[in-house]
């Protein structure tokens, strides 16, 4: 495997998950977390990893690990507390942060919307007016940072926003209505187009969206299961890929939504698809696992996730570990959209290892996960995929949305009571892998203690 010169080895976080409040405006997640039972364990992002205060410490972690890129988000509710007017102090903070990353040798990869919309924007993505508010927010951030940040992610995981935020109500803003969900998802994509137009007014800026992509495989070779996998692929992947990169929404999924909703998609107005497409300088790929699909009885969704058969490796969250699916996904995307560079903007797993007898975190399962998925990216590159970077999720353990603080994704362990950071064995391993240009180092040996 040969990774190209300038390949962006990095890791990522998001503002609400690590920063803590510290003077920012109220976001939809602050409101959602106050709902009884909405978040496992009753947690919220009021403190998180305290990174708004400890940001210099976090930059030192980036430097110590030798990361060449760091994905972070500007908090929408911090920059625009009332959804309308930017806070200069918030923008000052993100300028200092971007400068510190560059000084540490890490390319900033900036996400504009990682779900912490100001609660003042009543109606959220269900309202078309939010597209204009998002463009104004983009203008404020780009006005300060476009001269030093090249890589910009407009929207993080539109399908998850649509599904969990507006269809199932399991994420903020907690709406559970199918029609509202499809409309909200469309407005998220319109927001990408509007933000990209703002960003492209600044020379040298690259704009893209980060999609949560799940390869969909049939549980059997039956015609019904193959159709279920195709439908699922349209639901989670093509409904977003096609308007961004292929000129418009896929016809089969338009028909699906019209059947499921019982009416036409009149919220998709003339000119909308043209305002979404043709604006992506790259595609962000968030990959965690695949979906194994079987046919289901007729209904709004005539497919169901059944999972892989047999005994397979899984994370502590029960997700199948399948690095080969990432390789095949990257190759398939590059062949379908050959003019669009790819970046793995999230890839990681939940492994609950905590400090052991010697005070260190020996997370060997994450090391194996990291080794195999980096190898899969290398295999995709060798097969011709134009992959520009790999950003592991996440730099540190953090607030994991509705799952609270239980799942640990980090290369760095965080003691939430004290905020203390401890680089895990996986972080040390990743540092050696980066220094070796992607070559997998020998697995670490755990020394006896005492």
What span, in angstroms and rounded, lies between the C-alpha atoms of 201 and 217? 41
Q: Single out the catalytic residue among 19, 157, 273, 400.
A: 157
* Bond before 11 cis per omega within 30 degrees: no
CA separation, residue 201 to residues 147, 211, 281 (Å): 11, 24, 14
Q: Tell me, yes or no, if 64 is annotated catalytic.
A: no
Q: Which two tokens stand for residue 40?
A: 């496992």
Tell me the sheet residues that pair with 113.
155
d(CA 402, CA 165): 11
**Inter-residue contact 53 to 24 (CB < 8 Å):** no
Residue among 158, 165, 160, 85 at smallest CA distance from 123: 165
CB 19 within 8 A of CB 29: no
* Active-site residue, from 19, 107, 273, 346: 346
* Catalytic residue flag (residue 26): no
Q: What is the dihedral of CA 94, 98, 100, 106, to 10 degrees?
A: 150
CA-based torsion, 160, 166, 169, 172: positive or negative: positive
Catalytic residues: 157, 346
């Amino acid at each position: 495997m040969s990774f190209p010169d300038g390949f962006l080895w990095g890791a990522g976080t998001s503002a609400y998950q690590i920063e803590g409040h510290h003077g920012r405006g109220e976001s939809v997640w602050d409101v959602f977390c106050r709902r009884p039972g909405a978040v496992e364990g009753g947690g919220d992002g009021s403190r998180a990893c305290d990174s708004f205060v400890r940001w210099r410490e976090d930059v030192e972690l980036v430097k110590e690990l030798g990361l060449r890129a760091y994905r972070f988000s500007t908090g929408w509710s911090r920059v625009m507390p009332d959804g309308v007017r930017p806070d200069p102090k918030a923008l000052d903070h993100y300028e200092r942060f971007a400068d510190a990353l560059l000084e540490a040798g890490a390319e900033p990869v900036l996400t504009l919307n990682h779900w912490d919309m100001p609660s003042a924007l009543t109606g959220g993505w269900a309202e078309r007016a939010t597209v204009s508010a998002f463009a104004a927010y983009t203008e404020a951030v780009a006005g300060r940072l476009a001269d030093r940040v090249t890589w910009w992610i407009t929207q993080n995981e539109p399908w998850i926003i649509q599904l969990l935020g507006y269809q199932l109500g399991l994420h903020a803003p907690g709406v559970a209505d199918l029609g509202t969900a499809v409309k909200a998802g469309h407005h998220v994509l319109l927001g990408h187009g509007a933000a990209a137009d703002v960003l492209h007014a600044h020379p040298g800026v690259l704009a893209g969206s980060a999609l949560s992509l799940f390869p969909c495989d049939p549980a059997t070779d039956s015609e019904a299961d193959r159709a279920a996998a195709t439908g699922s692929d349209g639901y989670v992947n093509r409904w977003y890929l096609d308007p961004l990169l292929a000129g418009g929404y896929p016809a089969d999924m338009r028909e699906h939504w019209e059947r499921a909703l019982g009416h036409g998609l009149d919220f998709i107005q003339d000119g909308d698809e043209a305002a979404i497409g043709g604006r992506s300088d790259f595609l962000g790929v968030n990959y965690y696992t695949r979906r194994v699909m079987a046919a289901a009885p007729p209904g709004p969704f005539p497919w169901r996730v059944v999972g892989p058969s047999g005994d397979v490796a899984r994370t502590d969250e029960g997700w199948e570990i399948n690095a080969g699916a990432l390789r095949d996904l990257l190759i398939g995307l590059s062949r379908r959209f050959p003019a669009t560079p790819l970046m793995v903007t999230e890839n990681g797993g939940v492994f609950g290892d905590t400090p052991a007898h010697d005070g260190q975190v020996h997370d060997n399962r994450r090391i194996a996960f990291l080794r195999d998925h980096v190898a899969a990216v290398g295999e995709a590159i060798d097969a011709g995929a134009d992959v520009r970077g790999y950003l592991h999720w996440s730099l540190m353990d953090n607030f994991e949305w509705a799952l609270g603080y239980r799942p640990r994704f980090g290369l760095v362990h965080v003691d939430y009571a004290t905020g203390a950071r401890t680089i895990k064995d996986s972080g040390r391993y990743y540092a050696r892998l980066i220094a070796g240009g992607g070559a997998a180092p020998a697995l670490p040996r755990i020394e006896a203690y005492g």
